[in-house]
Structure 1
Amino acid sequence: MRHVLMVAAAVAAVFACSAAAQTSAAVARAQGMVGERFDGYLGYARVPSSNHVRSQTEAINIRRRKLYTDLAASRGVSPQEVGVTAGCTLLGRVAVGEAYMLSDGLWRRRGAGQRAPVPDYCTGD
Structure 2
Amino acid sequence: MPRALTILLAAALVAAPAVAQTAPQIVEQAKAEGVVGERADGFLGVVPSQVDSDIKQAVDEINIQRRAAYTRLAEKQGVSVDAVARVTAEKLIAEKVDSGEYYMNASGQWVKK
State the partner residue of 2:103. 100
Give the secondary-structure state (helix, strand or coil) at the position aligned to 2:98: coil
Q: Measure the CA separation in 2 of the matches of 1:46 and 1:99.
A: 11
- TM-score, normalised to structure 1, is 0.70
Structure 1 moving runs of 4+ over 2 Å? none
Shift, 1:47, TM fit:
2.8
The answer as to 2:56 corresponding to 1:54 is yes
Query: What do you get for the CA RMSD once the two structures are aligned?
Result: 1.3
Larger of the two Rg values belongs to structure: 2
State the partner residue of 1:117. none
Alignment of 1:69-88 (within 5 A): 69-88=71-90
Which of 30, 36, 48 is 1:34 aligned to? 36
Q: Measure the CA separation in 2 of the matches of 1:106 and 1:20.
A: 28
Q: Measure the CA separation in 2 of the matches of 1:26 and 1:75.
A: 30
Give the secondary-structure state (helix, strand or coil) at the position aligned to 2:22: helix
State the partner residue of 2:112. 109
- TM-score, normalised to structure 2, is 0.77
Identical aligned pairs, as a percentage? 36
Q: Measure the CA separation in 1 of the matches of 2:50 and 2:33.
A: 10
Shift, 1:48, TM fit:
4.5
The answer as to 2:70 corresponding to 1:68 is yes
Q: Measure the CA separation in 1 of the matches of 2:72 and 2:81.
A: 8
Shift, 1:64, TM fit:
0.2
Unaligned runs of 5+ in 2: 1-20
